[in-house]
Amino acid sequence: MVIYNRVALIGLGLIASSMAHAMRAGGLAGEIVGHAKSAETRAVALEIGLCDRVCDTAAEAVAGADLVVLCVPVGAMEAVAAEIGPHLAQGACVTDVGSVKQAVIAAVAPHIPGGVAFVPGHPLAGTEHSGPRSGFATLFQNRWCLLTPTELSTPEAVARLRSLWEAMGSNVDEMDPAHHDLVLAVVSHTPHLIAYTMVGVADHLRRVSNSEVIKYSASGFRDFTRIAASDPVMWRDVFLTNKEATLDILGRFTEELFMLQRAIRMGDGDELHAYFTRTRAIRRGIIEAGQDTAAPDFGRVAKPSGA
Ligand code: NAP
């Protein structure tokens, strides 16, 4: 069932290539046109047949498209929006897949001309891999996609985009952009920062204890290293643009950490036991909500995770 006649993907990394595969698998787009910044990525996209056409410029790629998907790092959204703005077709819809919503809206909305809808979006699905070869059609299966409509989103444009994400396997929710950024700071952005920090600590320790950190890493630490292998550009941009929410959650995290540190120092077993009992109940809730399985799977390969 064709939902859009021509979809332009700007940026051809993990998310765009997964969308291309999923749209192909479901016959959801009449034509898929792509553009990426480097000639190298464009050549790979051509070689593997990711798109029907690959264009040298974003302006060329969006011409005549009824859906334009911005799949570039959050920090690159503004430059891309400025370039494509004058070339968007009347009646088209622009969306994005950025991990932060308020900053993307502020960067993109001023460049959307009259007669074009803008519906910001964020699929909560990803892996630590990036680039045009890393995508796969089932990435969005049973994962949430959050749409954060603005005054530039018409109800028709939102409904049509929702039907695309649902046809790619996602469950779709609508959310206020500021609320999105706070929720994501809790469930994704701060945990990634903690993983980066923990791997940094272990790297520092390794100089003291040789290779023990690697040797015994299966006991949980390996999952931290998987998360900390995520794309540095993408994650730099997430923290630079979701600054306030991340700092808020980090402040709360630090307070809890100090509280646990004190409980350990004071030998307060009751406090530790009560705390871990509460967190165990949260984990059970996640399994019951179908967001993970109970089976431990440390070091898993390409395990979908939200960003
Ligand atoms: P990725 O695999 O690193 O790919 C990024 C793509 O953007 C590359 O093709 C890159 O081109 C292109 N690009 C960068 N700057 C550009 C510019 N100025 N003009 C045109 N193309 C440009 O990234 P990704 O993981 O797909 O992430 C894309 C977006 O999805 C980000 O906003 C991220 O926040 C969001 N997101 C990511 C995940 C995740 O887990 N990975 C999950 C949900 C949402 P070159 O290859 O030529 O450099």
From residue 261, alpha-carbon distances to 254, 256, 279 in Å are 10, 8, 16
Question: CA-CA distance, 135 to 32, in Å (whole number)?
Answer: 15
Position 122 in a domain: yes
Verify whether ligand 1 is closer than 6 Å to residue 45 (CB atom): no
Do 99 and 51 fall into the same domain? yes
Residues 130-145: pLDDT tens digits? 999 999 999 999 999 9
- The answer to whether 286 and 292 have CB atoms below 8 angstroms apart is yes
- Main-chain phi, psi angles of 147, to 5 degrees: -105, 135
Ligand 1 pocket mutation, candidates 38, 50, 71, criterion most atoms within 8 A of CB: 71
Instruction: Name the pLDDT band for 209 (thresholds 50, 70, 90).
Output: low
Position 304 in a domain: no
Question: CA-CA distance, 140 to 164, in Å (whole number)?
Answer: 11
Verify whether ligand 1 is closer than 6 Å to residue 12 (CB atom): yes
- Residue 208, pLDDT above cutoff 80: no
pLDDT of residue 210: 62
Verify whether ligand 1 is closer than 6 Å to residue 80 (CB atom): yes
- Residue 300, pLDDT above cutoff 80: no
Do 59 and 117 fall into the same domain? yes
Q: How many helices and strands, by DSSP H and E, does the chain display?
A: 13, 8
Verify whether ligand 1 is closer than 6 Å to residue 61 (CB atom): no
Coil, helix or strand at residue 1: coil
Question: CA-CA distance, 88 to 63, in Å (whole number)?
Answer: 6
Q: Which domain holds residue 191?
A: 179-267
Locus of tokens 């974003």: 58
Integer-rounded Cα Rg, in Å, for the chain is 21
Which residue is closest in CA terms to ligand 1's atom 46? Answer: 41
Do 184 and 145 fall into the same domain? no
Question: CA-CA distance, 199 to 302, in Å (whole number)?
Answer: 19
Q: How far is the CA of 190 from the centre of ligand 1 (A)?
A: 20
Q: How far is the CA of 79 from the centre of ligand 1 (A)?
A: 14
Nearest ligand 1 atom to alpha carbon 131: 2
Residues making up the chain, counted from first to last: 307
Position 299 in a domain: no
Do 214 and 109 fall into the same domain? no
HSE, side-chain direction, 13 A CA sphere, residue 175: 20
Position 279 in a domain: no
Do 115 and 225 fall into the same domain? no
Position 28 in a domain: yes
Note the pTM of the prediction, 2 decimals.
Answer: 0.92
Which residue is closest in CA terms to ligand 1's atom 31? Answer: 73
Position 110 in a domain: yes
Do 226 and 247 fall into the same domain? yes
Kindly report the CATH number assigned to the domain that includes residue 220: 1.10.3660.10
Please name which of 10, 5, 47, 48 lies closest in space to residue 23, comparing C-alpha atoms: 5
Instruction: Name the pLDDT band for 301 (thresholds 50, 70, 90).
Output: very low
pLDDT of residue 207: 66
Do 119 and 246 fall into the same domain? no
What is the token pair recorded at 97? Answer: 């897949």
Indicate the number of domains in the chain.
2
Verify whether ligand 1 is closer than 6 Å to residue 79 (CB atom): yes
Give the strand pairing for 53-54 and 117-123: unpaired
- The answer to whether 74 and 99 have CB atoms below 8 angstroms apart is yes
Do 114 and 249 fall into the same domain? no
Do 40 and 165 fall into the same domain? yes
Averaged pLDDT score across all residues of the chain: 92
pLDDT of residue 287: 83
Question: CA-CA distance, 17 to 230, in Å (whole number)?
Answer: 17
pLDDT of residue 263: 98
Please name which of 103, 184, 110 lies closest in space to residue 94, comparing C-alpha atoms: 110
Sheet holding 53-54, edge to edge: 53-54, 29-35, 4-10, 67-70, 93-96, 117-123, 144-147, 171-174
pLDDT of residue 99: 97
Burial profile 245-261: b = 16 or more Cβ within 10 angstroms, e = fewer: bbeebbeeeeeeeeeee
Verify whether ligand 1 is closer than 6 Å to residue 82 (CB atom): no
Q: How far is the CA of 253 from the centre of ligand 1 (A)?
A: 29
From residue 275, alpha-carbon distances to 5, 263, 271, 272, 278 in Å are 53, 10, 6, 5, 5
Residue 296's Cβ-count burial label (10 Å; 0-12, 13-18, 19+) is: exposed
Kindly report the CATH number assigned to the domain that includes residue 123: 3.40.50.720
Give me the mean pLDDT over the 30-56 stretch.
Answer: 98
Verify whether ligand 1 is closer than 6 Å to residue 9 (CB atom): no
Residues 150-195: pLDDT tens digits? 999 999 999 999 999 999 999 999 999 999 999 999 999 999 999 9
- The answer to whether 8 and 31 have CB atoms below 8 angstroms apart is no
Nearest ligand 1 atom to alpha carbon 17: 26
- The answer to whether 44 and 16 have CB atoms below 8 angstroms apart is no
pLDDT of residue 201: 86
What is the token pair recorded at 116? Answer: 């074009």
Do 52 and 169 fall into the same domain? yes
Do 141 and 184 fall into the same domain? no
- Residue 302, pLDDT above cutoff 60: no
Verify whether ligand 1 is closer than 6 Å to residue 307 (CB atom): yes
Do 162 and 262 fall into the same domain? no
Residues 95-126: pLDDT tens digits? 999 999 999 999 999 999 999 999 999 999 99
